[in-house]
Amino acid sequence: MSVAENEYDAFEAFDTAAGSGSVRDPYPTFARLREQAPIWEGNLLAEFGLGGLPDLSGLHDPSKRHFSALGYDAVQQVLLDGQTFSSSGYAKSMGLVMGHSILEMDEPEHRAYRGLIQQAFTLKAMERWEQDIVAPIVHRMIDAFVERGSADLVRELAFPFPIHVIAAMLGLPEEDLPVFHRRAVELIGIAANIERGFAASQALRDYFAGVLEERRRAPREDVISELAEAELDGQRLTDEEIFAFLRLLLPAGAETTYRSSSNLLFGLLTSPDQLDALVRDRSLMRGAIEEGLRWEPPLTGIARTAMRDVEVCGVEIPAGSPIGVCMGAANRDPARFTNPDRFDLAREPKPHLAFATGPHTCLGLHLARMETRVALNALFDRLPELRLDPASVDVHISGLTFRAPRALPVRFDA
């Protein structure tokens, strides 16, 4: 590896492109724009002073009118109507490096492809992953700092453990993990560095080609073997379709889970009374996970394109218009949630939109919830008197599109 390679920080480049550091709290701006209209017309990036950044959605066209769905009802209407609001615009951005994946598919292609992919994510597989993969990985990482009495829960647990889980689900060797993770982040960081994005895409395709060939010869009990053998109504996945899904799985599974777990931990650590209540009563865990997702989803928005002239919450949208779908703003809509800016474990349960809704509801939502539950239970069981390090300075969540704290320094009784 060259000196330039060593000096380039793919994680830092991606975070910067996603607004980390430059956007501390987008929610006041979301609220201001939502009050103007549940679906707002304008350049959302420019509202945050980020108008010069590349458009991650791939839909930017100065000749078109741009809209952002910010209200809960507006976001739900867009996401539930896949015929009117297409995902195909992602072919112009992420599709360039992912390949033709589920991210950019509309019906009926999306339904058929998703039906094949879901065969690798059964309840039986989930139970096996929890016992054989997730729990051992989490405990191994806690072993590394449990006797120290202090840790950074982002760098030492929340950030690394999801990529280890995905690698184990795919049956990849441990020694491949560092490069594997780096390429995954370079892939979704195409907006930060186009050349690296394309190089990472090709490198991952070549890597998975070798693994897939091996699994076809000798199937194992892993996701790649399941995808190679999946069949529905006589249809099977092509090699390129498998590569596209695997390239998507890396950032979709690792990035979002690390961020959602970190955000929930931040909410708990900065609300000691709620943290203590959850440690004492684990029956609150399910509600805590959902409240964390509602309050600070790891991904605040996705993109759609209007395929016809349409009205959303009283706003006329011309055919061909790009639409930013802001789940983060919807999850804090006061018309839907009381005191929405408050992190509150006692909140009345209501469905949120952190995993989207409709045809493109996140395929890995059950895995993400399970990983977070296992990680938090392990932390609470093994780290007595867990608390934010009183010497820490200005610990906070940042980012616009992807949000998470950069560090969570904690202390506990060793």
**pLDDT tens readout for residues 129-139:** 999 999 999 99
Q: What mean pLDDT comes out for the span 231-252?
A: 89
- Residue 372: both structure tokens together: 């977070």
Measured distance CA(168)–CA(173) in Å, rounded: 8
Instruction: Give Cα 98 distance to the centre of its chain.
Output: 16
Please tell me the pTM assigned to this model.
0.92
Please check whether residue 42 is in contact with residue 178, taking contact to mean a CB–CB distance below 8 angstroms: no
Percent of the chain with pLDDT over 90: 72
Please check whether residue 326 is in contact with residue 301, taking contact to mean a CB–CB distance below 8 angstroms: yes
- Residue 402: both structure tokens together: 């992807």
Percent of the chain with pLDDT over 70: 92
- Main-chain phi, psi angles of 388, to 5 degrees: -65, 135
Q: pLDDT at residue 29 above 80?
A: yes
Q: pLDDT at residue 45 above 70?
A: yes
CB-count exposure of residue 24 (10 Å: 0-12, 13-18, 19+): middle
Angle at 226 between CA 223 and CA 229, to 5 degrees: 150
Measured distance CA(335)–CA(26) in Å, rounded: 19
Q: What mean pLDDT comes out for the span 34-39?
A: 96
Q: pLDDT at residue 19 above 80?
A: no
Report the amino acid identity of residue 77.
Q
Asked which of 136-140, 170-174, 175-179, 236-240 is least confident by mean pLDDT, the reply is: 175-179
Q: What mean pLDDT comes out for the span 90-107?
A: 88
Mean pLDDT of the chain: 90
Q: Which has more confidence, 205 or 56?
A: 205
pLDDT digit string (tens) for 288-299? 999 999 999 999
With a CB cutoff of 8 Å and minimum separation 6, the contacts of 343 are 267, 270, 271, 274, 291, 292, 295, 296
* Confidence at residue 58, expressed as pLDDT on a 0 to 100 scale: 47
Domains of the chain by range and CATH?
3-411 (1.10.630.10)
Q: pLDDT at residue 5 above 80?
A: no
Measured distance CA(379)–CA(285) in Å, rounded: 13
Residue 161: closest CA among 281, 270, 12, 265: 265
